[in-house]
Amino acid sequence: MTLDFDFDLFVIGGGSGGVRAARIAASEGGAKVGLAEESRMGGTCVIRGCVPKKLMVFASEYPDMIADAKAYGWDVQSGPLDWRGFRSKLEAELDRLETAYRNTLKSAGVTVYDARAVVVDPHCVRLADGREFSTKHILIATGGQPFVPQFEGRELAITSNDIFHLDALPKRALVVGGGYIASEFACILNGLGVKVSQYYRGAQILRGFDDEARGHVANQMAANGIAIHCGTDVERLEQREGGICAVATDGSTAEFDLVLYATGRVPNVAGLGLEALGVGLGRRGEVLVDDWSQTAVPSIYAVGDVTDRINLTPVAIREGHAFADTVFRGIATKADHDLVASAVFTQPELGSIGLSEEAAREAGPCEIYAASFRPMRSLFAGRQDKVLMKLVVCATTRRVLGCHIVGPNAGEMIQLAAIAVKMGATKEDFDRTVAVHPTMSEELVTMRKPVRIF
């Protein structure tokens, strides 16, 4: 490609989106690519998000598994978790993944700079050490960071960035927020033996998901021992002798050893120099892009959480890939943001794709199929846990508009159901698929009568 510039592409940010774009542009697009990362390679997902979180989810599930094993007749005893031992294994795993990311970029021929970079002009970036590089294209892939609102005692709270580095597990924890991160960590900490309270300002946690599904998750979380306080926010935090005292908006006070704030994330744009160049930023600071991930400055693109479209790793990867295909491989590709499935790794898990019952009712006539039952495995072990399988169907086209699953491995199940939903499967397509027996997910193809019609 052109050698009028030092680089064809300079990527700022070595997370999921940036790394994918850099690799494809270099290895398949023949571009000369530079990438700057100020922290650790791999970004939020690998270093302080999905990966360590999921390993903590696994760790937190063992006490229940051991209890179930006993119920099945195994002579096993549960002991305390060696948190420090787990943490060092976790750190070693993250080191391994970071190295793998670096090696991938190296073998693709990408030049990596372990430094912060800012944009100087539409074709120039500057590293923290003062070095400047000219580049034909710039990709902003700087991700986001936890947002903590302003309140008295704010400095006493930690965020998800800090949770993986704790020296010891707390005895009592308060989790503030009702979204993915708050709900997942409330469950993780509870599973690890911490006494957990969760304060959420709204009426029900996991806003945006299907009401029945999130109610199901919340009920089960409460049954598992998490004290969920909806309609409750922190007014202030005070350091007391016995711990951190949270004074809540409902007038209550309670003491905790740890307060985790998971009240959303904001795009990492501060100091990048974008606004001065005419790159549009939205109300939350997100970089405004078109369907091609291109900003108002034609040579500058942005992908991933910094654009605040759908803030999920696989979406950032698709956006990065589509950008590289379009700009460096001559294959015009828009990232597809329609019908993106996701899973919340609470206990129980919630897997979801498409419209909620509430959204479908707004959209037009629909039928709701739902089954809630106690699955064989945990029922045998004496648990009362229920799973939920739910399909939202358009009454006119018969298409399955939404699928919501609450239960063990819902994340795995929704991935497969998502293929059918994305293909436009109708309820009748689901029905003519023979059940796999005995499984939980067979309910998805055996629900004959709607429970509600709108």
Amino acid found at 250: D
Select the residue whose beta carbon is closest to ligand NDP and give its number: 179
Beta-bridge partners for 240: 243
Q: Does 352 bind ligand NDP (CB under 6 A)?
A: no
Taking the least distance from each CB to ligand NDP, the nearer of 161 and 239 is: 161
Choosing from 57, 181, 228, 410, the residue that interacts with ligand NDP (CB under 6 A) is 181
DSSP string, 232-262: --EEEEEEETTEEEEEETTS-EEEESEEEE-
Q: Which residue has the tokens 């970071």?
A: 98
For ligand NDP, which stretch binds (CB under 6 A), given 181-189, 370-378, 402-410, 420-428? 181-189
Strand residue runs (E) in 395-437: 400-406
Q: Does 232 bind ligand NDP (CB under 6 A)?
A: no
Taking the least distance from each CB to ligand NDP, the nearer of 7 and 200 is: 200
409, 411, 419: which is closest to 440 by C-alpha? 409
Taking the least distance from each CB to ligand NDP, the nearer of 41 and 56 is: 56
Q: Does 285 bind ligand NDP (CB under 6 A)?
A: no
The question of whether 437 is a catalytic residue gets the answer yes
For ligand NDP, which stretch binds (CB under 6 A), given 10-18, 85-93, 175-183, 295-303? 175-183
Amino acid found at 306: V
Q: Does 263 bind ligand NDP (CB under 6 A)?
A: yes
Q: Does 342 bind ligand NDP (CB under 6 A)?
A: yes
Choosing from 265, 386, 390, 404, the residue that interacts with ligand NDP (CB under 6 A) is 265
Question: Per-residue string for binding with ligand NDP, 142-161, x by CB under 6 A?
Answer: -------x------------
Catalytic residue selected from 165, 337, 404, 437: 437
* Smallest distance, ligand NDP to C-beta of residue 146, A: 7
Q: Does 178 bind ligand NDP (CB under 6 A)?
A: yes
CA distances from 451 to 236, 248, 372, 393, 412 (A): 45, 39, 11, 11, 25
Q: Does 350 bind ligand NDP (CB under 6 A)?
A: no
As a whole number of angstroms, the distance between CA 106 and CA 23 comes to 9
As a whole number of angstroms, the distance between CA 431 and CA 373 comes to 19
Q: Considering only CA atoms, give the Rg of the chain.
A: 24
* Smallest distance, ligand NDP to C-beta of residue 144, A: 8
As a whole number of angstroms, the distance between CA 184 and CA 176 comes to 12
Q: Does 378 bind ligand NDP (CB under 6 A)?
A: no
Element (H, E) at 401: strand 400-406
350, 59, 120: which is closest to 214 by C-alpha? 350
* Smallest distance, ligand NDP to C-beta of residue 201, A: 5
Site for ligand NDP in 386-425 (CB under 6 A): none
Taking the least distance from each CB to ligand NDP, the nearer of 215 and 264 is: 264
Taking the least distance from each CB to ligand NDP, the nearer of 201 and 398 is: 201
Q: Does 180 bind ligand NDP (CB under 6 A)?
A: yes
Q: Does 18 bind ligand NDP (CB under 6 A)?
A: no
95, 70, 27, 13: which is closest to 302 by C-alpha? 13
140, 142, 110: which is closest to 23 by C-alpha? 110
Choosing from 179, 304, 354, 402, the residue that interacts with ligand NDP (CB under 6 A) is 179
Q: Does 447 bind ligand NDP (CB under 6 A)?
A: no
For ligand NDP, which stretch binds (CB under 6 A), given 3-11, 57-65, 199-207, 437-445? 199-207
Choosing from 10, 345, 369, 430, the residue that interacts with ligand NDP (CB under 6 A) is 345
Q: Does 306 bind ligand NDP (CB under 6 A)?
A: no
CB of 244 closer than 8 Å to CB of 258: yes
Q: Order across the sheet with 195-200: list the strands.
A: 227-230, 195-200, 172-176, 258-261
Number of residues that bind ligand NDP (CB under 6 A): 23
Taking the least distance from each CB to ligand NDP, the nearer of 21 and 340 is: 340
* Smallest distance, ligand NDP to C-beta of residue 258, A: 17
Angle formed by the axes of helices 83-108 and 16-23, to 10°? Answer: 30
H runs (alpha helix) in 224-332: 274-277, 313-328
Beta-bridge partners for 234: 248
CB of 410 closer than 8 Å to CB of 350: yes
CA angle at 11 for the pair 9 and 13, rounded to the nearest 5°: 175
Separation of CA 139 from chain center = 22
- Other CB atoms within a 10 A radius of the CB of residue 275 amount to 11
Q: Does 312 bind ligand NDP (CB under 6 A)?
A: yes
Taking the least distance from each CB to ligand NDP, the nearer of 34 and 354 is: 354
Choosing from 311, 347, 352, 441, the residue that interacts with ligand NDP (CB under 6 A) is 311
CB of 327 closer than 8 Å to CB of 337: no
Known catalytic residues? Answer: 437
Residues that bind ligand NDP in the complex, under the rule CB under 6 A: 149, 177-182, 184, 200-202, 207, 233, 262-265, 311-312, 342-345
